[in-house]
Structure formats: structure tokens, C-alpha cells
């Protein structure tokens, strides 16, 4: 049974996807894959994702974009701009928006902050290449959530986790979530949010997280956090 038939049989929609590129498909450095090699992979991936109904594709892929030691970061950034510029029209043809995900420095060495991700989005300048903000990485890099005010017209998806262990968010006082959600309310964000975290008990913790996040979005949780 093909992946489309399996997804249809399960009956759960798949509007978002992750794990875009393998680490072996290099985007930066002197040994970066050729544009033809990149597009051969991307076109096949987009075709499959379209069949699955994916509309938002997360571009994390820290290994693929990692800059080799000694290579110019400016040149690597230009290579990422060129990649984004190449794939955006193809993404549009398949009804997909690629969203760049800033990753903390432990996972890659380029596009580590939402501000840097936003700079890449502006450089590519295509409506099918936009921005994702992951609260775990935002908090790890100690970045002010207010960057989302500047980038609000390009913010298309969010990832969420309790940064203390990268686990499911379960309680308002376990971390200082308030500035993040206050910023989202201030910009009128109405897009999707995915929990990207581990859990020892999905059936029990998932409903708790959903309740917490819905209340946070609604502004029903206003007491200051007590734990960091």
C-alpha cells in the first residue's frame, strides 16, 4: 500500500511535515550538492508531500545546512538564499510553503535565531518560503519573543516544548511562557502550533498540553511563572 493510501486509511490529516533534507544533501560549503542534485531530491519530496496533503514543510535540516569549518558564513548564507530561491517556485507548484526553522547552536551553526531566519526569508522574498519559530530554540538562544512582531507577516508555523528537557508543556508555572504567548496575541497569530517534544505518556500528557496551550493562546493564564 502506498503512503497516500495508508494516510487516507488512517483518516488523520497531515497538513504539516518535518525532516525535510538528509544530512548527506549538503547545502553549504565547497562540497555542497549541485542545484540539479538538490532539485532532484526536492521535486520528488514535494510530489510525495502533495499526495499526503502537506501544506507546510519545516526546513530544519541542521546537518544539511551546517557550514564546514573555515568556510565563510556569508557565502554559506548566500548558498541558502540560492537554495530557497530555487525551491520556492517548485513548492508553490505543489501547494506547499517551506518554513525555515532556526535551530539552537548545538544542532547547527547557521540560522540559529528567529532574527536570522527572518533575514533569510526576506532575502529569498517569495511567499512560499516563510518562517517557523520554535519556542524551544527561541528560549535556548535567549531570544526576545518580540522578534515575532517584526516578522509577523511571514510567521507561518510554531513548534512548542518545555525547554527544560524538551518535553511536553504541562503547567503554566514550569517555565516563563507568558511573553511568548502575549506576543502571539499581540500580532493576532491564528496559524498552527505543533508540540515537538518527548513524553513518557502521550495519552495522559497530550490532553493536558492541549488545554494549557489553548488557555495560553486565549490569554486565560496571566499569573507570572515561578520556575525557569
Q: What is the mean pLDDT of residues 128-148?
A: 98
* pLDDT tier for residue 8 given thresholds of 50, 70 and 90: confident
Domain count, the chain: 1
Range of the domain at 73: 13-218
Q: In Å, what is the CA distance from 61 to each residue of 43, 103, 188, 212?
A: 17, 9, 29, 29
Average confidence score pLDDT of the chain: 94
How large is the average pLDDT for residues 48-57?
Answer: 95
Helices marked H in the chain = 3-10, 35-52, 62-65, 73-93, 114-124, 135-140, 147-150, 178-187, 202-218
Would 210 be classed as within a structural domain?
yes
Residue 227 pLDDT class (50, 70, 90 cuts): very low
Calculate mean pLDDT across residues 42-49: 97
Q: Is residue 204 part of a domain?
A: yes
Position 88 confidence tier, pLDDT thresholds 50, 70, 90: very high
Stretch 62-84: mean pLDDT, rounded?
98
The interaxial angle of helices 202-218 and 178-187, nearest 10 deg, is 50
Q: Is residue 2 part of a domain?
A: no
User: Residue 5 falls within a domain, yes or no?
Assistant: no
N-term to C-term CA, the chain: 47
The 10s digit of each residue's pLDDT in 118-130 is 999 999 999 999 9
Q: What is the mean pLDDT of residues 78-98?
A: 98
In a domain, 224, yes or no: no
Q: What is the CATH number of the domain that holds 178?
A: 3.20.20.150
Q: Mean pLDDT across the stretch 93-103? A: 98
Let me know if residue 207 belongs to a domain: yes
Does residue 223 fall inside a structural domain?
Answer: no
Could you read off the pLDDT of 157-198 as tens digits, one per residue?
999 999 999 999 999 999 999 999 999 999 999 999 999 999
Task: Supply the pLDDT for residue 2.
Answer: 65
- Per-residue model confidence (pLDDT) at position 9: 79
Residue 174: inside a domain, yes or no?
yes
Percent of the chain residues topping a pLDDT of 70? 95
DSSP for 98-150, please give it: EEE----TTT-SS--SHHHHHHHHHHH--TTEEEEEEHHHHHHTT--TTHHHH
Question: Which pLDDT score is estimated for 1?
Answer: 56
Q: 28-65 burial by CB neighbour count: b if 16+ within 10 A, else e?
A: bbeebbeeeebbebbeebbeebbebebbbbbbbbbebb
Amino acid at each position: 500500500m502506498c503512503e497516500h493510501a495508508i494516510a487516507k486509511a488512517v483518516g488523520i490529516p497531515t497538513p504539516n511535515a518535518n525532516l525535510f533534507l538528509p544530512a548527506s544533501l549538503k547545502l553549504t560549503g565547497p562540497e555542497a550538492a549541485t542545484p540539479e542534485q538538490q532539485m532532484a531530491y526536492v521535486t520528488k519530496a514535494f510530489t510525495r508531500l502533495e499526495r499526503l496533503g502537506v501544506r507546510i514543510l519545516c526546513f530544519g535540516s541542521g546537518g544539511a545546512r551546517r557550514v564546514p569549518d573555515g568556510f565563510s558564513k556569508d557565502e554559506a548564507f548566500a548558498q541558502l538564499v540560492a537554495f530557497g530561491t530555487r525551491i520556492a517556485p517548485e513548492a508553490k507548484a505543489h501547494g506547499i510553503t517551506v518554513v525555515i526553522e532556526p535551530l539552537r547552536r548545538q544542532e547547527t551553526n547557521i540560522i540559529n535565531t528567529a532574527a536570522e531566519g527572518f533575514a533569510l526569508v526576506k532575502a529569498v522574498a517569495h511567499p512560499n518560503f516563510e518562517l517557523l519559530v520554535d519556542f524551544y530554540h527561541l528560549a535556548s538562544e535567549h531570544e526576545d519573543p518580540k522578534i515575532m512582531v517584526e516578522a509577523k507577516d511571514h510567521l507561518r508555523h510554531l513548534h512548542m516544548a518545555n525547554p527544560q528537557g524538551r518535553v511536553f508543556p504541562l503547567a503554566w508555572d514550569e517555565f516563563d511562557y507568558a511573553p511568548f504567548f502575549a506576543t502571539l496575541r499581540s500580532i493576532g497569530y491564528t496559524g498552527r502550533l505543533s508540540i515537538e517534544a518527548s513524553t513518557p505518556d502521550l495519552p495522559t500528557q497530550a490532553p493536558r498540553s492541549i488545554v494549557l496551550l489553548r488557555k495560553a493562546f486565549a490569554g486565560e493564564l496571566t499569573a507570572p511563572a515561578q520556575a525557569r
